[in-house]
Amino acid sequence: MSVAGKRIILGVTGSISAYKSALLVRLLVKAGADVQVIMTESAQAFITPLTLATLSKRPVLSTFVASETGSWNNHVELGLWADALVVAPASARTLARFATGLCDDLLSAVYLSARCPVFFAPAMDVDMYHHPTTVDNLRRLESFGNHLIQAEHGELASGLVGEGRLAEPETIVTVLTNYFGADTAQSEGINVLAGKQILITAGPTQEPIDPVRYISNHSTGKMGYAIANAFAKIGAHVTLVSGPTALPIPDPSIRRIDVRSAQDMFEATQGFFADADVVVLNAAVADYTPAHPADRKIKKNETVFSLELTKTTDIAATLGNQKGPEQLLMGFALETDNERENALKKLHRKNLDWIVLNSLRDAGAGFGHDTNKITVIDKDEQTHEFALKSKEEVAQDLVNLIANTLQSRNIVKA
């Protein structure tokens, strides 16, 4: 599936990399997309509307009222018309305005009106890209369900070298093609998951030492929440058992069960497991918990403090032992050494259908990132390797994999 026949609004904002938008328009039109360009006022200082109008074969829009004709550029109609809104380049100013809902021009009004997927491709200097406000704005926009096309590493207009370069137009087209390809798979086969009961665990657990302190890990829950959102978008009934995290529920249809400790998470998953068609165990559950948590704060008296730990219940192994013939169980393994060997041991020992392997050796994978790089191994030891992608795209890959397995089962039964 390509972008052929798709209606795409390209938002171009004030960045030196706006010159790349000409090639992006050309590639999209060549691929068969219908492209409507909306430019901010500052973008027009870097590239002329005439250039983009010529390439898109449509007048470029920039204001609510066209100065030439006096006609109204209806932002609501534009938001409903589009199959995708792509903001490339997305400047730091634009990200800040969109993240806070500031609506003072045509592009921001279209963004707030859009019901289609929205893709942001940031472009700015390295220090601006890594500034805490920009990082927070990007996280906020992603939490709304928008898609981030990561800025690339390289030489910048300032002469500095680092992250901040606009993703190449070919990369942006590939992201859109992959997205619409997944969308087509959804309509042609992935709907086998519609109405299915999906149980997902996400986030860390916190094991109490005393009323003040606990043992935990660096999991943010982003991957599990992205998976929950991907299932919810295709009409599955999702129950999300979540450890402590600041993330909002990504879709209002998701039933979230908040837990804290490994035992809490075990009891919650047990309660919903029997009715689940698919179980995705993404949570980073503590392997050990304090054997005797204190009921009062432990005072700092001794130079050396010893803590007796006891094993927690292995949720994946327990559910794998209880799993019925129609149930599918996916586990995760974050490894630093002998990755494949350790993942295979978990796969078979816990009776999983898939193990999703993350390696901390891979840049951009693991805890705390907005991206992930996974290798999925099924129970027959067939391996599916995926490139570094946003966690939303990784979630879609996993949903596609599960849907294909269910589809194959239905074909065999038929």
Ligand-binding site membership of 346 (annotated) = yes
Please check the confidence at residue 17 and state whether its pLDDT lies above 70.
Answer: yes
**CA–CA gap between residue 127 and residue 363 (Å, rounded):** 20
Length of the chain as a residue count = 414
Contact 232, 244 (CB under 8 A): no
Name the β-bridge partners of 36. 9
The mean pLDDT value for 172-191 works out to 67
DSSP state for residue 150 in the 8-state scheme: P
Q: What is the pLDDT of residue 8?
A: 96
Q: What is the CATH number of domain 190-413?
A: 3.40.50.10300
Q: What is the CATH number of domain 7-182?
A: 3.40.50.1950
For 226-254, the pLDDT digits (tens) are 999 999 888 899 999 999 999 998 888 89
The mean pLDDT value for 384-396 works out to 87
What is the b/e burial string over 376-394, where b = at least 16 CB atoms within 10 angstroms of the residue's CB? Answer: bbbeeeeeeebebbbbbbb
As a whole number of angstroms, the longest Cα–Cα distance in the chain is: 81
Cα dist from 133 to 42, 50, 223, whole Å: 21, 34, 22
Q: What share of the chain is helix, strand, coil (3-state, %, to 5)?
A: 40, 25, 40
Query: Collapsing DSSP states into helix, strand and coil, what is residue 153?
Result: strand
Cα dist from 390 to 119, 223, 248, whole Å: 12, 9, 18
Terminal Cα-to-Cα distance of the chain (whole angstroms):
27
Fold match between domain 7-182 and domain 190-413:
yes
**CA–CA gap between residue 216 and residue 66 (Å, rounded):** 57
Q: What is the pLDDT of residue 186?
A: 47
Angle, CA 160 vertex, CA 159 and CA 166 arms, to 5°: 90
Boundaries of every domain in the chain:
7-182, 190-413
Q: Which two tokens stand for residue 40?
A: 């901010």
Ligand-binding site membership of 332 (annotated) = yes
**Active-site annotation, residues:** 217
pTM: 0.57
Alpha helices in 209-284 (DSSP H): 222-233, 262-273
For 319-360, the pLDDT digits (tens) are 999 999 999 999 999 887 888 899 999 999 999 999 999 877
Ligand-binding site membership of 231 (annotated) = no
